[in-house]
Structure formats: structure tokens, C-alpha cells
Structure 1
Amino acid sequence: MTCPCLPDKCKLALAADFIGQLNCTIIKSSDLKQGKMFTLTVTSFLFCYNFSSARHHLLYFYTALTKPDGFSGPVFSAVGVCEDRRISRYSNEEQTWKRDWRSPTESLHTLQRRVGCEVEKCPDGSVIHVNAFDEYGYDGEQFIAFNSATMQWIEKTPKAKETRMKWNNQRVRRQVLQMVLKNCMNWISTFNDSVRGMHSSPVLHMFASVAPRDQSKQILTCLATGFYPKLIEMNITLNNITLQPFSSSEVRPNDDQTFQIRTSVKIHRDEKRGYECRVLQNGSLESRHHYLLEGLIAVAVVFAVAVLLIMLLIYKGINGEFILIKGIKCHISRCVALDLM
């Protein structure tokens, strides 16, 4: 099921603009793409069922370090991440900008910034929710953050009170930040358009291990890996009934820009029939995997090896050789039991 659509592909949403006024606004998809209008969605009458809605985000992380004696490494670095993919990076060993600091320091300090936006959309492109942010941290603690709904800076620590008052009075700073946040959605759309054709189905693996502290139980795990895009749902079923997971990981990135996820259920040690791993991608059943299938393959492999070994023994027996198999001495014409005690 998809989001309800108004005539002319317009979407009705309750939104708050950057000056903090609540408006009931008709948002056209074309206007959003062209950057004619940017609003921060507070509440929406759009509904996407199941997990058909998708979140898209663009983040930039900046880190600046003081450089005490004996410290090696970059003093400034920046990383751009879109849809959990690193799209840009920068580091600079030089520290010419440090000349403007009021006084030198002998200890290591860190200044961090996270700026970007997150957009949640239905499959038809309608916007459900927009979250824009600009946050600063100092020495591992939150320092100050920008509230895009009120266009005001909020102090996260009493130490940031002076900075908050100064920045809230800087009109140019707010205008620049407003422009950056407005363009953020356009940049996400540009990136999504460039990777829209990329799609890879998950590869599934199922395996079991002995449950800790209970030898009568096993942990049955399903691993899905190598899929893109990130949006996916995975369940383990028994006779078509979805089981409550014992543990489940979040979707995690692989080193080849695909993703992986795993989920586990607790089963009885002797139960091996009827379990199935099912994966939904983009709202449809992408693939499934039977746990019993791996067991049958293992049995078939063992059986094939056993048959091959027997054939080899028969071949040697035909050549007149005696072979010892489980306490039985065999020749081509007869076999006699041996006393192995």
C-alpha cells in the first residue's frame, strides 16, 4: 500500500516553516525538487504502511584538534556521508588557521560539528518528515545546537551561553545556515538519482549454535548480506508463523558499500524442520531460505563421500588387497570379523 495522493500530485501536510509559524501547506513534489520551498514537517497526514517509507540523510562531520607536542595526525578532518555511504573526505596536516587563536595550548582538545538533514519519504516521493540539524561538541560533550524550527541556537551546556547569545544576534549566520539546510534535500535527491539504478538482492545464510547455559536449545541465526539499498525486513518463521527474535542486529554496512543484517531465534536442539528465513526488500518478498536445506546438503555430501570411499575400497579389494573396515577384514571373495579387543 502507498500513501494517499491528492489531485495533481499535491500532498497535504501540517508543517512549520523556518520562522516557526504553523501552516497547513500544499507541498508540490516539483517545488521540493526545484528548491522553491523548504519546510520542517512537524506532523503529517500522510501514512505509509508496513515499512514502505524510507529515510534519507546527508551528514557532514567536522573535527578540529589542538596539536600538543608529540601529537601526530591531522588537526582538521571532514567526512561527508549520504545514505550510509561516504561520499567525500578531507584532512589537513597544516594548522595555519591556528595562528588566530588567542593563546597556545599544551593539552589535546577536540571541536566537532555535525550538520545535515534527514528526510522521510513515501515510495511516491511525498515527504512525511524532515529533520535538519547543526550541532557542535567540545571535548566529547554537547556544546550548542541549532533549532531549525525556531531558527535559534540552543545551549547544551552553561559554557555555551555566551556563544548562544552572540550567534543568535548574527543574522548572516542564520541566513547562510538556512540556505545550506534548504539545499540539503536537493543534494539528497541528486545523490539518490545517481544510485537509483543500483540494486542488489541479499544472499542468505542460516546456521545454528548451542545456546549458552542450555544444552537442550540452539540459537538459529539468519544472515542476509550483500544487499542494497538499506531498506529491508527479515524474519524467521516456523510453518509460516513469524517467530519472536531472540536477538537482532541493526542493518550494518559492508566494506563494498552493500549492507548486512542478522536475526536469531531460540529453538529446541532436535527441531530442524519447517524453519525458514524470509527477506522483504522494497515491500516485496525478495528471497527465502530453508534451514533444513543446509542439513540435507550436508547429509548428501557425507553420503557422497561415503559412497566414494566404499568404491575405493572395492577397487583395492579387486586388486587382491586386504582392507580393514570397522573390525572386518575383507577380500574380494570373503570377509571375516576380527577380534579387536
Structure 2
Amino acid sequence: MKKFFLLLLFCHVSSSVKHSLKYFLTASSGIPDFPEFMGWGLLDDTLAGYCDTNIKRVEPKQDWVKTYFDKDPQQLEWYTTECTKILPKAFKTRISSSMQQFNQSGGVHILQRINGCEWDEETGNVFGFMQYGYDGEDFLSLDLKTETWMALKPQANIIKLRWDADKLRMKHYENFFSQICPEWLKKYVDHGRSSLLRTERPSVSLLQKTPSSPVSCHATGFYPDRAMMFWRKDGEELDEDVDRGEILPNHDGTFQMRADLNISSVSPEDWRRYDCVFQFSGVKEDIIKRLDEAEIRTNRVPPSEFPAAAVIGVVVGLLLLLLCISGLFIWRRNNNGFRPANISDSTSETSQQPLTDHSRFIMSATRCRYD
């Protein structure tokens, strides 16, 4: 499965005149509340559409795909039928066949297929491909030149022989990959060319929360999402002490990604040996950020920059409060007592009694507060 996802996410277009149409299909069994079948369509490695057996429809993922389906509703209907009816049934049967070959009676199993075609706009060459994976490992691959299947696992041999004998199916594959798929690919490229050729370079920054935190190399605002980011030391790509994040969408349709470097074991004099590299598919020039403390952005406040006025204000306030309390106790010790004046003859006897020490303290505190 790892190989399949790497092919899906990190396949790069080496030239601006090469185009590809890929279908990435996944079926599963034994997973509750999970779609039994899912499909992705990618044009030049950019997600164009998606479907699964839960939503039971095809969802265009690019504006140009929506307008294309508006112009050609029959093709949208074809994709919908394939994704919601034909392929889920076929993949369910193929999972059962694969389980038999592996002597499996139950459990969670995943069958994947990637197929499509590539077209070189400059030379006109067309190349078709189809490969299956089962439970995360390569399983079967179609050789269109010999019109035979290659068993990539011993358990696939029986399926290979059965599929090789199905000449009608092989004829269908040969026609699809040499005629239909390239024709669709050329139409899609013509219709979505302005979007496909759009390129926006990112802004790349070095971020760090605390001096002991990893340094994050963060790129945002790039388009399309065919990009990679990694850290190097002395020009060699690093795998250890590096945490690569996924490519995530921004609200404006662009993308962002990050790669974190653990610097806990890096001495300050060795920082200059590290740099972060952002690579854009189809763009020869990389964006490189050298590990430099002066380049790191952070939201922490160094002690030297902590607001001095605030510190002085707090200290002065505490001193005034201490002075007020000290004066209060001095006054209580030297004063003979505070007695309220008679307000009227009707004042009760209780109101004319001397105040208790607690009352004097409250009255004195009030004077100290408001005088």
C-alpha cells in the first residue's frame, strides 16, 4: 500500500508537455462504517474527481471538471455507473478470489488498483498501465506489450492464468489504454489547460515555538499540490530527526505543507550545515532556506524585550499597597479609637457604642482607599 500512496501523492511531471490521466481505486472488506469502494481521478497528478459507495455519486474537485461535465453529461453518467455499480461489484469478487489464494477466511482486506495513461504532447507517444495491490503489497501488473499479466506474488499465479485466458477482456484493455484513455486525456487537458498550467510559488518560512522546540520549515500559498519538502545536511537529504507533514489546502485554493527538524542534538556551530528544500513539480529551481537563527520566526518574547514599563508599574503598585497597609496599622496603634457622632436623638443606644477593632479596621481601610 505504501508504494501505491507514494505513486499517488509524489509522482512528478518531469516535463510541461507530458500529461497523465490516472484512476486510483480502493475496495475494502471487514471495515465497519467504511465505504466498500472508493475512486479518485487525477489529471496531471491533480485530483479531478472522487466517488465512493456511501455518497453514490461522482464529485468534481476542480471548476474545469464541473464545466466539462455540464458540456458532456453522458461522461458524468458513465463515471457514476462505473463507480457506484460496476466496479464495486467487480472488486468485491476480486477480493474474494484473492482471499482464497491466501487461504484467508475473514478479517480486514484491501484491494487497490491504479490504471491510466500518459501522453507526451511533444512526441505524441502514449503509454497505458494497470497494476493491482492486495493488503499493501504489489499483486498483479498488466503488460500491454505482451498482452499478459505478471504475477508479483506467488498467490497471484492462478488469477494471472485465468485472466490471461480471457482474450475478450484483454482486447477491451488494449482498446481502452491505446484509444479511449488518450482521447479523454487530450480533451481534459484542452479544457482545463489554463488551470493545469497555473503555477504559484510559495512563501517559505522557518518557525519555532521555543528554543527547545523543533524548527518547522513551512511553505504556504503554492499551487498545484505537486510538491515535496525535506531537510538536508551537507547537501544530503535527512530521514532521521525529520517529521514531514501532509500537504493541506488553504481557504483560497492554494496549499501548504511543513517539515520539522529536531535540533536538540545539533550544536549551534553546525546549524549552517542544514537547509530546508522545497521542490515544485515542473519547476527546475528549488526554494532553499538555510537553518539560521536570524531567519527563525517565533511568537515567544525574549527576556530583553519584555515590557519594562509593565514591570515597573507592578512594582510601584505593590509598594504603594504595602505603604498603605503599614500606615493603617500605625494609625490603629496610636489612635484612641474612632467614635461616630450622634446623628439624632432617636439614634439607638446600640449605634452609640464604640466600634469594635474589626469595625475600626474596615473604616480605616476605607479611608486609605478613597482619601
TM-score scaled by structure 2? 0.49
Work out whether 1:245 is the aligned partner of 2:238: yes
Q: Which has the larger radius of gyration?
A: 2
Residue-pair matches, total? 254
Q: How does 1:158-169 map to 2 (within 5 A)?
A: 158-160=157-159, 161-167=161-167
**Is residue 219 of structure 2 the alignment partner of residue 224 of structure 1?**
yes
| Rounded Cα–Cα distance in structure 2 between residues aligned with 1:313 and 1:128 | 77
Corresponding residue of 2:9: none
| Alignment partner of 1:309 is 2:280 | no
Q: 1:74 to 1:154 in 2, by over 3 A?
A: same
Is 1:61 the equivalent of 2:24?
yes
Deviation string 1:121-168 (CA, Å, 9 cap, x unpaired) is 8xxx75799753112346666553222344443344211212112247
Within 5 A, what are the aligned runs for 1:120-139? 132-137=128-133
Q: Shift of residue 189 of structure 1?
A: 3.3
* Contact map agreement 1:118 1:132 (CA 8 A) in 2: yes
1:145 to 132, 136, 141: 141
Match for residue 205 of structure 1?
Answer: 206
Counterpart-to-counterpart distance in 2, 1:204 and 1:183:
42
User: 1: distance between equivalents of 2:182 and 2:237?
Assistant: 42
Q: How does 1:1-341 map to 2 (within 5 A)?
A: 53=15, 57-64=20-27, 73-92=34-53, 111-117=111-117, 132-137=128-133, 142-156=138-152, 157-160=156-159, 161-167=161-167, 170-183=170-183, 185-186=185-186, 189-190=189-190, 191=192, 193-207=194-208, 222-229=217-224, 230-231=226-227, 242=235, 245=238, 247=240, 252-256=246-250, 258-262=255-259, 264=261, 268-271=266-269, 277=276, 279=278, 282-284=283-285, 286=287, 288=289, 291-293=292-294, 301-313=302-314, 316=317, 320=320
CA separation of 1:289/1:80 partners in 2, compared to 1, >3 Å: closer, same or farther? Answer: same
One-letter amino acid of the structure 2 residue matched with residue 89 of structure 1: Y
Structure 1 position 115, deviation (Å)? 0.9
Gaps in structure 1 of 5+ consecutive residues: 1-50, 212-217, 324-341
Q: Is the 8 A contact 2:117 2:182 kept in 1?
A: no
Find the aligned partners of 1:313 and 1:242 in 2 and give their Cα distance.
51
CA distance in 1, matches of 2:244, 2:117: 21
What per-residue deviation string (whole Å, max 9, x for no partner) do you get for residues 50-96 of structure 1? x97578643212345679xx965544432213455432122236887
**Contact 1:132 1:148 (C-alpha < 8 Å) held by counterparts:** yes
The alpha-carbon distance between structure 1 residues 298 and 272, as it changes in their structure 2 partners (threshold 3 A), is farther
For 1:201 and 1:300, locate their aligned partners in 2 and report how far apart those are by CA, in whole Å.
27
> Which secondary structure state, in structure 2, belongs to the residue aligned with residue 175 of structure 1?
helix
Work out the CA distance in 2 between the residues paired with 1:96 and 1:297.
53
The CA deviation at 1:321 is: 5.0
Instruction: Give me the whole-angstrom Cα distance separating, in 2, the residues matched to 1:175 and 1:221.
Output: 49
Moved more, 286-295 or 153-162: 286-295
Note the residue ranges of structure 2 that are not aligned, 5 or more in a row.
Answer: 1-12, 57-83, 97-104, 324-371
Q: C-alpha distance in 1, partners of 2:164/2:316?
A: 88
8 Å CA contact retained: 1:205, 1:224: no
Counterpart amino acid of 2:25? Y
Report the Cα distance in structure 1 between the residues aligned to 2:295 and 2:168, rounded to whole angstroms: 63
**Structure 2 equivalent of residue 327 of structure 1:** none
Contact 2:117 2:129 in 1 (8 A): yes
Match of 2:354 in 1: none
Taking structure 1 as the reference length, the TM-score comes to 0.52
Question: Is the 2:112–2:132 contact (alpha carbons within 8 Å) kept by the matching residues of 1?
Answer: yes
Q: 1:183 to 1:134 in 2, by over 3 A?
A: farther
Shift in CA distance, 300/252, structure 1 to aligned 2, threshold 3 Å: closer
The percent identity for this pair of structures is: 17
User: Do the aligned partners of 1:61 and 1:112 also contact (CA within 8 Å) in 2?
Assistant: yes
Cα 1:236–1:207, aligned 2, differ >3 Å: closer, same or farther?
Answer: farther
Amino acid at match of 2:23: Y
SS state at 2:166 partner = helix
Query: What is the rounded CA distance, in whole Å, between the counterparts of 1:150 and 1:169 in structure 2?
Result: 14
Instruction: Measure the CA separation in 2 of the matches of 1:172 and 1:307.
Output: 78
Provide closer, same or farther for how the CA distance between residues 210 and 142 of structure 1 changes in structure 2, counting only shifts above 3 A. same
> Hey, which of these two has a bigger chunk of strand by percent?
1
